[in-house]
Amino acid sequence: MTPIVFVHGFLGGSRQWAGQSGAFCETDVVTVDLPGFGENCHLTALDSIAAYAKWVLDALKSREITLFHLVGHSMGGMVAQEIMVQSPERVESLVLYGTGSTGVLPGRFETISTSKRRACADGSQVTARRIAATWFLKTTEAKAYEDCAAIAEKSSLQAIFAGLDAMQNWSGTDRLHDIRARTLVLWGDQDRTYPWSQTECLWRSIPGAGLAVIPDCAHAAHLEKPMFFNSIIKDFLAVSP
């Protein structure tokens, strides 16, 4: 069966997909750690979304994975859109989750410039924990917060700045109409990072895209309501093109 590739977002890592790796037992689940993040925190982070997309494609090619379903979360959703530009023939279906078509992030809990300024003042670990808290409806009281914060804390200031620069300098809005893979747009209705306007843009601009909204979730719906999230992905993948 076609494997499912999950791409994490800013300050994320492959370990965040543990609830998906165990749920999709009928097919291979592939989770990557982008350079500078998660288990690849020792690598130099890249400063463009296109470079991350190429890195993912090369990593999958090295594993002889040529065709796959693709799930991109947050910054990983931007990477997924770039993968559709660089190698659309390799993507059987696409899930853009908690993401948007522009890296400027209008409506984000704070501007990218503010994040940079606060990172300089507070350091990488404090910044990582503070930003991770915004991903959950219950912030630091969320069940999955500590695990996510621990993953986020692995990233250096170099990775934080590189990731923020990559997002700030990226836009895929003009290319959404060119996406031909079967696509699902997925969003938590209390997301503090990506407002409805970004989600709606993806949904209305990508030809034939479906939409799923998970209620009472913030930016990490796959951790806040994993069974609900997994059932939506499974249902989407089960429908033949």
CATH topology of domain 4-238: Rossmann fold (3.40.50)
Query: Is the separation of the CB atoms in 86 and 57 below 8 Å?
Result: yes
| pLDDT string in tens for the chain (241-residue length) | 899 999 999 999 999 999 998 898 888 999 999 999 999 999 999 999 999 999 999 999 999 999 999 999 999 999 999 999 999 999 999 999 999 999 887 778 888 889 999 999 999 999 999 999 999 999 999 999 999 999 999 999 999 999 999 999 999 999 999 999 999 999 999 999 999 999 999 999 999 999 999 999 999 999 999 999 999 999 999 875 5
**Pairing outcome for strands 91-97 and 182-188:** parallel
Q: Where are the domains of the chain?
A: 4-238
Q: Is 234 helix (H, G, I), strand (E, B) or coil?
A: helix
The phi and psi torsions of 97 (rounded to 5 degrees) equal -120, 125
Contacts of 63 (CB under 8 A, 6+ apart): 30
Taking the C-alpha atoms of residue 150 and residue 12, their distance in angstroms, rounded to an integer, is 10
